[in-house]
């Protein structure tokens, strides 16, 4: 297990009881370096959407726990936020929740000379997804998907 994976696993174990107690969904956690700064992020959600006050409450509780546990030696910035409108589909529950919704899919390798597809998620299995794009249907193996996210239209 890499340092990043270890930190994310420990962080997730800390966040989950807090989000469960508040009836929030823990969507994802990440530990990333952006520029010269490290970020420890928790993405949370709830029916009807997350508010700034929700994020602040979780952040306060997490900050105290992180100070006590102190398992990350590097300086980092703690962020708690919603996953946003164009949330990425990373976990199985994300795909399940998104059946019937429009998604953007980016593939590692081209299919029919394309890597980017936008369509409605028709079916989700453990190993693949099927989207409808107009009158065409495409099935992609999840291992071939570089990124999938909810489509955002303005």
The CATH label, of 3.50.50.60, 3.30.300.70, 2.60.120.260, 3.30.70.3340, for the domain at 3-81 is 3.30.300.70
> What is the pLDDT, as a whole number, of residue 96?
92
pLDDT digits 0-9 by tens, 71-92: 999 999 999 999 888 888 988 9
Class for the domain spanning 92-150:
mainly beta
Q: What is the number of alpha carbons within 13 Å of residue 111 lying toward its C-beta?
A: 13
Cβ distance 31 to 67 under 8 Å? no
Res 93 pLDDT > 90? no
What are the structure tokens assigned to 133, written together? 């794009």
Q: What is the pLDDT of residues 19-68, one digit of tens each?
A: 999 999 999 999 999 999 999 999 999 988 899 999 999 999 999 999 99
Nearest to 104 by CA among 127, 120, 92, 93: 120
pLDDT for residue 32? 94
Q: What ranges do the domains of the chain cover? A: 3-81, 92-150
């Amino acid at each position: 297990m890499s340092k990043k994976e270890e930190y994310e696993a420990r962080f997730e174990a800390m966040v989950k009881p807090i989000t469960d107690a508040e009836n929030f969904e823990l969507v994802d956690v990440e530990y990333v370096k952006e520029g010269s700064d490290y970020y420890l992020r928790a993405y949370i959600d709830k029916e009807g959407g997350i508010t700034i006050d929700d994020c602040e409450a979780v952040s306060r509780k997490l900050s105290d726990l992180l100070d006590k546990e102190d398992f990350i030696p590097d300086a980092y910035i703690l962020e708690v936020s919603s996953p946003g409108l164009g949330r990425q589909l990373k976990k199985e529950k994300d795909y399940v929740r998104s059946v019937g919704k429009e998604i953007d899919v980016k593939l590692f390798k081209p299919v029919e000379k394309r890597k980017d597809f936008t369509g409605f998620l028709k079916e989700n299995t453990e190993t693949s997804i099927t989207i409808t794009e107009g009158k065409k249907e495409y099935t992609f193996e999840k291992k071939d998907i570089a990124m999938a996210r909810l489509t955002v239209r303005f």
